[in-house]
Amino acid sequence: MTIRSLLDYREVVGPDIIEELTILASHVGSRSIKMINSTFTGGGVAEMLHRIVPLLNEMGINTEWEVIKAEDKFFEITKTFHNALQGKPVHFKKDEFDTYLACNEKNANEIDFDADLIVIHDPQPAALIHWNHHRKNRWIWRCHIDLSHPNKQLWEFLRPHIEKYDAAVFSSAIFSPELAIPQYRFYPAIDPLDDKNRELDVSYVKSVFEKYGIPKDKPIVTQISRYDPWKDPVGVVQAFKMARRYVDCRLLLVGDKAADDPESEKILEEVKAEAGDDPDIHILLFSPSIATEINAFQRGSDVIMQKSIKEGFALTVSEALWKRRPVIGGAAGGIPAQIIDGYTGLLVHSVEGASLAIRSLLKQQEIAKRLGENGHQRVKDEFLITKNLKRYLLLLLSLDRLQKHSTIFLS
């Protein structure tokens, strides 16, 4: 992965934004951060850390990233934790909690926690704090998952550990539980310069559509998402078929094969059955997909859909909005934070609503263009990596001052 400099972002976000980041960094001074999570590869958290850690270092914040070491059994348990914290009914045995704690204790003894700010990501290393009673630095728990309806048994086990932290950070108010510690909101963010989002040559975009045999003879409606029931790909096909009675178009469904999700095969079969032999419906399955090709599919589409019924944050919405595409999103999870209905895209609640939205956007191109432009601005304001850098700097500044005042004059 290319390591980028903060200056590379000047052209994207504007020199004024980078200048102000530099000013804030100068107020933070020579402080240090240690990020701790459970993996260097795979998943959005690792992807984000790969990008943000070098940028924080460039700004003079000495930032290290360390990963906990654990056996497969631990990760099997924490995967179940992940699902249970997002509401899946599971009953845990005592030995599962014991395995989790033993692994955290072992790592707590091996890791140096000498940075000014320790940021623990997600539940896997959350109990590390338990073995750091006499810490003098600040500890933050950054939760990237939806904790609005956590499994009661698991939450009762984890909560006492979480409430030892100085603060917790969530992606949205709707994801956060009640806690006795301060909570902050950090929206997830996309990197405008990575392969998934950077500008592409029109000829490359064209070549990708040709490569996969998708004619660009009529408008293309695209959903890029795993074949997962909560992303409602079957509903997307149904909405497309209803819309096409009024406007000629193609549907493109693009999804990665999830190795750990046996259900995805079943959903894919359902999608294919719903599509039948319709020549205007193109279903692609990757294992894994290539970032620049996903970028090209988004840029070459006339409308992007993310018709989720249940959702995490769905940064695919921000990716599409960043490319100035008109987006139709299901009103679930973090999607309404990105799509302000009628201003930065269209929110839908049903197959019928999605169908109507497709017709509206394909037939009213001026409106579609305006939504795309507004969406781009909304992402620029809230969902770019530079905004996340700013949030980390402000977090460091606020922890220094113990929040005695709601307005802090930096001098």
Partner 1 sequence: MGTAFQFLSSASLEKLTGRKAYNLNELLGLIKSCTESSIFFHTFSAFMKMRDIKSPYNNDFASWVYLGLNEKALAERLMAIDLKEYNTIKNLKGRLIEIIENHGAQEPGSFKKTADEPFYLYDIIRFVYLTDKLTHDLKSFRDTLKNISIYSVYFHFIESRVHTGLYDNDFSTWIEESLNIPDLAHRIRDIDINVYDIEGLRLRIIRLIDEYLKSTKH
Residues at the interface with partner 1 (CB under 8 A): 14, 16-17, 19-20, 23-24, 27, 170, 173-174, 176-179, 182-185, 340-341, 343-344, 374, 377-378, 381-382, 390-391, 394-395, 397-398, 403, 406-411
CA terminus-to-terminus distance, the chain: 37
Nearest distance in Å: CB 183, partner 1: 4
Q: Which is nearer to partner 1, 176 or 301 (CB)?
A: 176
Encoding tokens for residue 238?
A: 């149904």
Least Cα distance to 307 among 331, 279, 333, 340 occurs for 331
| Cβ count within 10 A of residue 245 | 9
Q: Which is nearer to partner 1, 104 or 171 (CB)?
A: 171
Quote the CA–CA distance of 77 and 361 in Å, as a whole number: 45
Q: Which is nearer to partner 1, 56 or 224 (CB)?
A: 56
Nearest distance in Å: CB 333, partner 1: 12
Bridge partners of 118, per DSSP, are 34, 139
Q: Which is nearer to partner 1, 87 or 182 (CB)?
A: 182
Sign (positive/negative) of CA torsion 297, 303, 307, 308?
positive
Nearest distance in Å: CB 377, partner 1: 4
Encoding tokens for residue 166?
A: 């100085």
Nearest distance in Å: CB 392, partner 1: 10
Residue 293 DSSP one-character state? H
Nearest distance in Å: CB 15, partner 1: 8
Is there a cis peptide before residue 177, judged by omega within 30 degrees of 0? Answer: no
| Cβ count within 10 A of residue 409 | 5
What does the DSSP assignment read for 20-73?
A: HHHHHHHHH-S-EEEEEES-SSSSHHHHHHHHHHHHHHHTT-EEEEEE----HH
Q: Which is nearer to partner 1, 20 or 195 (CB)?
A: 20
Sign (positive/negative) of CA torsion 277, 280, 281, 285?
positive
Quote the CA–CA distance of 165 and 154 in Å, as a whole number: 18
Q: Which is nearer to partner 1, 223 or 318 (CB)?
A: 318
Nearest distance in Å: CB 309, partner 1: 15
Q: Which is nearer to partner 1, 359 or 387 (CB)?
A: 387
Quote the CA–CA distance of 240 and 253 in Å, as a whole number: 11
Q: Which is nearer to partner 1, 273 or 410 (CB)?
A: 410
Nearest distance in Å: CB 306, partner 1: 18
Nearest distance in Å: CB 219, partner 1: 25
